[in-house]
Amino acid sequence: MDFYIVIPAHNEEKFIEQTLSSLANQTLLPKRLVVVNDHSTDNTEKIVSDFHKEHNWISLVNSNSSDKHLPGAKIINAFYKGYETLDEDYDVICKFDADLIFPSNYLEKLADHFKANKRLGMASGFCCIEKNKQWVLENLTRKDHIRGALKAYRKACFEQIGKLKPSMGWDTVDELLAKYYDWEILTDETLHVKHLKPTGISYNKASKHLQGEAMYKMRYGLIITFISALKLAYKKKNFSLFTDYMSGYFKAKKNKLEFLVTEEQGAFIRKLRWKGMKEKFQK
């Protein structure tokens, strides 16, 4: 299978060499890999340029957006700067972060999964972080959710869900829409990807309300948003975030922000969320 990979990168000189090295040593090499150097002020551009000299399937796109590290729109807008340079001759499109180390068989294993199941729309491994000199699963990792750091989409699924939404919540609404269109999602727990920079470490204070805003835009409704915000704040061990998330939800509702999904899709999403909660409660 032919893999295309887009990696948005902002000041990633500490990590991106390891990421690109791990992808250059895959048992199944990607057909194309584009790094979008998004307003970096460090040596990110030079590191990527050096890899391009050695590997003609690696390319560099320079972009000059804001230097603020807001989740959602910034990273997806950078993704599209790279995606727009690619043709349509791929089977799987990946959006990867620039601070990951992939096992050498990562793409080959994903290809096996996609070949084995024609209804498999998205697949990934698990993110691990270093803690006390050991690599352990990142606390946001779940078997039923693919982390935004390592998304891989079958072409037909990617196109049917409307590609990626330039908004906080893009890495949740993509899966919900995939399920709406009857695609399956798989996480392979044997594929451990080293995540060198924990999620959210460089988010600034302006991003604190965006999670609640995303829940509104995905048409969760008040009760599901309340439960989801409480659960997420608990996972992050910071209950002040619950207030931030709810404030973001109410602010988005007051301002009547544009939804990411249709009314029909929203009804499906709420039904799916309630079903998931009931199943976990019954365990």
Q: Tell if the pTM clears 0.85, that is, is over it.
A: yes
Instruction: Give the C-alpha separation, 262 to 90, whole Å.
Output: 29
Instruction: Give the C-alpha separation, 58 to 71, whole Å.
Output: 25
Q: Name the DSSP class of 53.
A: H
Sequence-distant (6+) residues with CB within 8 A of 47 are: 13, 16, 17, 20
CATH level 3 topology of 3-195: Spore Coat Polysaccharide Biosynthesis Protein SpsA; Chain A (3.90.550)
The CA–CA distances, whole Å, from 219 to 57, 193, 226, 270 equal 40, 32, 13, 8
200-236 per-position pLDDT tens digit: 545 545 577 899 999 999 999 999 999 999 988 888 8
Place of tokens 């295309």: 4
Helix (H) or strand (E) holding 146: none
Phi, psi of 21 (to 5 degrees): -65, -40
Question: Domain boundaries in the chain?
Answer: 3-195, 208-282
Cβ atoms 23, 7 nearer than 8 A: no
Indicate whether 98 pLDDT > 90: yes
Indicate whether 254 pLDDT > 80: yes
187-198 per-position pLDDT tens digit: 999 999 999 987
Averaged pLDDT, 169-185: 96
Place of tokens 């700067």: 81
Euclidean distance between the first and the last CA atom of the chain, given in angstroms as a whole number: 39
C-alpha neighbours within 13 Å on the C-beta side of residue 215: 26
